[in-house]
Structures are given as C-alpha cells and as structure tokens.
Structure 1
Amino acid sequence: MNNYIPFSSKILDVIKHTDVEFTFRMSCKREVKPGQFFEVSIPKFGEAPISVSGIGADYIDLTIRKVGKVTNEVFERYVGDTFMLRGPYGNGFDVDIYKGKELVVVAGGTGLSPVRGVVDYFANHRNEVAGMTLIVGFKSPEDILFKEDLKRWKETIDIVLTVDSTNDTKNYRTGFVTEYIPELKFQDKNNAAIIVVGPPAMMSFSVKGILNIGIKEEQIWVSHERKMCCGLGKCGHCRINDTYICLDGPVFNYTVGKTLID
C-alpha cells in the first residue's frame, strides 16, 4: 500500500446528528483502530484529516463537522457518491490496554467521535472491564451526537450526559464534564484507566480534575488532533519539538501528552 495514494470510497449511508454534523459511512476493508484518522480528499477542493468514529467489517464511519472549504463540499455529497481517502494514519486506541481496568472516558462535544469505537466495544463486552463510565458533555441538547448509541450504551455502562446550559433541567444534567469528575468512585484507583478527548481547554481542566482525585499520570490517555494536516509527517504542521502528532499520535499517554504544548 502506497500511503501517498488515495483510494476511492463509496458513501454507504449518511446519518444526520445536527445541522452541521453528519456521520458518513464509507466503504473500507482496511484494518482500523479507534482513534486513527483518514485524510478525506475531494479533487479541486483539498483534503482534511477526519477521525474514525465507527468501524465495521466493510466500512468506517467518519463524523464530519461543516466548518471549512473541504468539509463544506463534503456535505454536498450523499449516498452513492464517493470520496477519496488516504489512511488509516496514527496509532489509535488499543482496547487491549484497557481490558480488566476500571475504565472512564471523558469526552467533550465532537471529542466523542474518536473514542466512540472504544466505548462501543466495551459496552458490547462489558465483562472485559472491571468498570465502565462515560462522562460526555455538549453545548446544548440540540448538539448531542450519537443519541441512539447513548441510549444503547446506557443499558450496560454508566453514563453521565451533560449540557453546558438548557432550560430543560428536568431531562438533562447541566454543567461542564469537569464538574462530574470528583463524583467518580473506584474499587481500586491503581486499576483505573482514563481517556480524555475534546477541546484543549476541556482536556486540560479534565486532566487536572482527574489528577486531583488521586489518579496517576501514567493511567491517563489523551488524543491531540487539532494540529494534524498531511498525515505523513512531511508538512511539519503538527510537529511539536521532535514529535509529529500524525505519526507518533494522535493518542498519547499523558506522561508524553503533557509535554506537547503548542
């Protein structure tokens, strides 16, 4: 496989979450891990790195937000059309690391996309972890992603779903995800594993909250995605010191991730 050459991928399905966030189910039979990403390209418009939000036997899910030239064009294409893809790139999340652990996933907004595969795996294999909690926050009820997944996951794992603000306090918890971290209970903190993904500020304050409750740095994993561009370590856009986010990451243990200050 030549990593420089994209391949054609057919749009199998399009799932609308919000007015600006859709999941595109793309044909793909390559081996993929949660947290890895693909370069989505459209001739004459360019390309953009998109995290994998779901993995099937012959497809991948790419949850895309309409925010720029390439993604705007993406939203003009629907079932039966094609994208050009390169990848997968990056190291992703290795679910084997978390087996037997008391796993907590803290996600903010679209940060749920790259960890959706991890949550889905353990929601379907609950016996493979000692505990499983998802803390996920969105700006408002209208911004919630993967609503059907959240309903299904709730049957097997503990979920704290919160929105920044809403008038419907009867049906929704309010506040930032960081407010719910002190409520976490563990049978053995030394057996805990924490994944944090989301906007930089949310990740920073979430990790501080996790450290404050007695979890060690080496028990925390983060995903740095904001700076990625070419996916091959050639453009230098994602380089921080001697680390290339697209090659060495985007998933890092916090002992390394804490040094990646851009």
Structure 2
Amino acid sequence: MDNSVYSYDPMESPEAVAAVKNLYVPQPYRIEKIIRHTLMEWAFRIPVDFEGGFDKFVEVSLPLVGECPISISDFGEGWIELVIRNVGRVTSRLFELDEGDTIFLRGPMGNGYPVKEEFVGKNLTVIAGGTGVAPARSVVNYFMRNPDCIQNMDVIVGFRNRDMILFHDDIEIWKQKFNTIVTLDDGDPEQGENVGLVTAYLDQLNYEEPENHHYVIVGPPMMIHFTVKGLLDLGAREDRIWVSHERRMACAVGKCGHCRVGNTYICIDGPVFRYDQAKHLVD
C-alpha cells in the first residue's frame, strides 16, 4: 500500500479508485487481548487486515473522543500489537475498554526501520528508553525469530525503575540470544540491577567494522541527543544511526502541520530517519 494520500485522477477507472485505501477514513477493529505491563502502559493485540511494519504507526480513534498516533510495537500475519501509555484524553478512554471492544484505526503510516533492506547480515545495536522500547521491540523480535539473519546484536534498554519495565518475557528471551543490558534510573546494585542512563553502557559495545554496524535509537529527545553523541565519540558513523521523531506526529497525512520541521513532515517522511539526513530536525 502506498502511504501517500490519494489524489483523484478522473482518468482512472472506478475499480482502480475503489482499490486505493482512503487514509482519512478510520476502520473498525476488535481488541483481541489486553496485556497490562504497568499501571500506565498496556498492550493491545488487534487482528487486522493489513501488514504491520518496523516502527510504522497507526492512528487510533474513538468516536466523539478523538484520535492519536501509536507506533506498532510488534506484528505478525494478521495482527499488530500497540503499547499505549495513559497520558491523555484518547488514551485514558482506551484504558476503559475491554477485550472484545471495538476501536478504529487508520494506517499503517510512515516510514520505519529498513530492517530487511539494511540490517540483515550486519551488526546491529538497539538502544531504547522507557516507552521508546515499544517501537524498537519489533526490530529486536524480528531477529529473535530469525537469528540467522543478523551477524551480531546488542540491546540496551533503560527504564525509570523496576515497576516500569516493559516486556519482561521478551527481555528474558533477548538475554538468552543477544547481549542485552537492562538499566534502571532508580535501581539497586545489591539486587544485581544495572543503574544509570543507557549512555553509561555504550562503552560495552563492539565498535569494530563501523561500516557494517547499524544503530537504532528510540526514546525522549534528550536521550537520543546524548546517545548519538556518545556513539559518534566512540566511532559510530552518522549514516549508520537511525533515530525516531514520532513524538511530533498528529494527523499522519501531512495536513495539520504539527510535525513539520522546515520542509520535512515527520508523519510522512518519517518517523524514522537516518541521523545524517535528520540531524537538523530539532525536537
């Protein structure tokens, strides 16, 4: 499916016009499963009739309430999973729903990580903080399910404290397959917990073959800024670092202007960008 907004051509046949999905119109989908990771972050498993993508996103809406962009945290044949944080009008109403209830989706939207085009057969490091672990999760899980497709993988994820850790089961599997570091801002070293920001553990990564090493960074703007700086200081290449600016998005079709930075529309051109092409995008 083409993510661009469809423009009507009177020379096209009615069948061709009908075949194009209208990205302005939300479609109903049923919530199959709700996983309550923390008090504030829940995962919604939803059967869908479209293919998900690595940090692509959908617009989630409720009639008479509103809509908001949510990144796809994982996906498979016929389903996607959305991790939603209860922080606003729409999300608070979503937290009132139960399994079997209906929500409305538009999408999928945006340009995600080039997993199959760029990462397969390479060294990959995924660094994510807080709810930023959600959109990065599909990338890690792809190589967890297809370990022969990656040369080497490192994962660093950071959370505020142990009560805010997401994806406990996934992380335990990641630890078995990859070099995985979990660090907490408010941790307890006496209980074997890593303490500190994700940037404190960058020196534990392998920076050999910089032309063959890609980095995925997802999190708050300041975390991305200092993580990129740390990676560059340690020898990473700008054109091998991929960052997400999804926090800016709103309408998802480049009309509201909320995500526009210069001539760039985050919702259409992103939300994932190669750092050397997007370092001018200041959040």
Please give the TM-score of this superposition, normalised by the length of structure 2.
0.90
1:54-93 superposed matches below 5 A? 54-93=74-113
**Alpha carbons of structure 1 residues 16 and 168: separation in structure 2 relative to 1, 3 Å:** farther
Query: What's the counterpart of residue 162 of structure 1?
Result: 183
**CA deviation digits over 1:168-189, x for unaligned, max 9?**
6423111000000122124422
Query: What's the counterpart of residue 153 of structure 1?
Result: 174
Query: What's the counterpart of residue 244 of structure 2?
Result: 223
Q: Pick from 226, 244, 253: which aligns with 1:232?
A: 253
Matched residue type, 1:151: E
Structure-1 separation of matches of 2:152 and 2:190: 28
1:190 aligns with 2:206: no
Runs of 4+ residues deviating >4 angstroms: none
**CA deviation digits over 1:20-76, x for unaligned, max 9?**
100001121202211000000001110010000010211110000000100000000
1:210 aligns with 2:217: no
Please give the TM-score of this superposition, normalised by the length of structure 1.
0.98
1:15 aligns with 2:35: yes
Q: Say if 1:17 and 1:23, in contact at 8 Å, map to a contact too.
A: yes
Structure-1 separation of matches of 2:50 and 2:190: 43
Structure-1 separation of matches of 2:171 and 2:187: 19
Identity of aligned residues (%): 45
RMSD: 1.0
Structure-1 separation of matches of 2:33 and 2:131: 19
Structure-2 separation of matches of 1:195 and 1:47: 27
Q: Pick from 174, 182, 196: which aligns with 2:195?
A: 174
**How many residues matched?**
262
Structure 1 residue 100: Cα displacement: 1.3
Structure-2 separation of matches of 1:186 and 1:130: 13
Structure 1 residue 220: Cα displacement: 0.3
Q: Pick from 123, 129, 151: which aligns with 1:130?
A: 151
Q: Pick from 33, 52, 56: which aligns with 1:32?
A: 52
Structure-1 separation of matches of 2:200 and 2:89: 36
**CA deviation digits over 1:120-148, x for unaligned, max 9?**
01112122111101000000011000000
3-state DSSP class of the match of 1:121? helix
3-state DSSP class of the match of 2:34? strand
Q: Say if 2:37 and 2:167, in contact at 8 Å, map to a contact too.
A: yes
Query: What's the counterpart of residue 52 of structure 1?
Result: 72
Structure-1 separation of matches of 2:65 and 2:46: 19
Structure-2 separation of matches of 1:168 and 1:16: 27
Structure-1 separation of matches of 2:209 and 2:159: 29
3-state DSSP class of the match of 1:185? coil
Q: Say if 1:33 and 1:94, in contact at 8 Å, map to a contact too.
A: no
Query: What's the counterpart of residue 41 of structure 1?
Result: 61
Structure-2 separation of matches of 1:15 and 1:248: 31
- Comparing 214-223 with 152-161, greater Cα deviation is found at 152-161
Structure-2 separation of matches of 1:53 and 1:255: 25
Q: Say if 2:52 and 2:76, in contact at 8 Å, map to a contact too.
A: no
Structure-1 separation of matches of 2:187 and 2:121: 37
Structure-2 separation of matches of 1:17 and 1:149: 12
Which structure 2 segments of 5+ residues have no match? 1-20
3-state DSSP class of the match of 2:70? strand
- Comparing 140-149 with 126-135, greater Cα deviation is found at 126-135
